Chains A and B, each alone.
Chain A
Amino acid sequence: KAGVTQTPRYLIKTRGQQVTLSCSPISGHRSVSWYQQTPGQGLQFLFEYFSETQRNKGNFPGRFSGRQFSNSRSEMNVSTLELGDSALYLCASSLDIVLVGYTFGSGTRLTVV
């Protein structure tokens, strides 16, 4: 069965621009979570969507936003990019976080120049 698909794999953007990343979860998974990973901070939770509703939110500024569609696909958007937004952005989907845990995608590497 298909895994979690993230697109694009790599992105280079300029400071001040905005960017949209996409995540398609495993079929049947309604929960989609987003993480930012940097060498200095490790994995940091951004937000989680479940059935088109944001269910949990991490401690990130309002420039970071997301949404989930009726087919469970999710997008995250970062506006007014800063150099510090350069990171690996990871998406994880779950059927039931307690019973089966997370399945991660391969990530999107964002570089802000």
Chain B
Amino acid sequence: KQEVTQIPAALSVPEGENLVLNCSFTDSAIYNLQWFRQDPGKGLTSLLLIQSSQREQTSGRLNASLDKSSGRSTLYIAASQPGDSATYLCAVNSGGSYIPTFGRGTSLIVHP
């Protein structure tokens, strides 16, 4: 059974810092990994999707990497801004049912 862990659970940083959020998974036989952002009380917004055959994906100030052999993905946020404050979740798609397994998320606060 796939297990997904996100560390740290919470992070508070000053504006302008470069950040790394971590996502670890136990079964490396994955189809893809998707990073989401969730604002309080809202739905999840997809940020990046990395296919099993890819090493990284980039969108603006966001870069997600994937290392299947070590069971890890990182989300890099460059030059953080207060508007980046949210919870970031990763979802790993593996197994025959194609139902993703979600981590518990990293709650990020970027203060001015």
Neighbouring A residues of B54 by C-beta, 8 Å: none
Main secondary structure of the interface of B (DSSP, over half): strand
Q: How extensive is the interface on chain B, given as a class?
A: 20 to 34
Main secondary structure of the interface of A (DSSP, over half): strand
A101 touches B49 (CB 8 A): yes
Docked CA distance A4–B42 (Å): 13
Docked CA distance A100–B93 (Å): 11
B93 touches A101 (CB 8 A): yes
B46 touches A109 (CB 8 A): no
Docked CA distance A98–B89 (Å): 18
A56 touches B97 (CB 8 A): yes
Listed A/B pairs (13) with beta-carbon separation below 8 Å: A42-B102, A42-B105, A43-B102, A88-B41, A92-B44, A98-B32, A98-B98, A101-B32, A101-B46, A101-B49, A102-B100, A104-B43, A106-B42
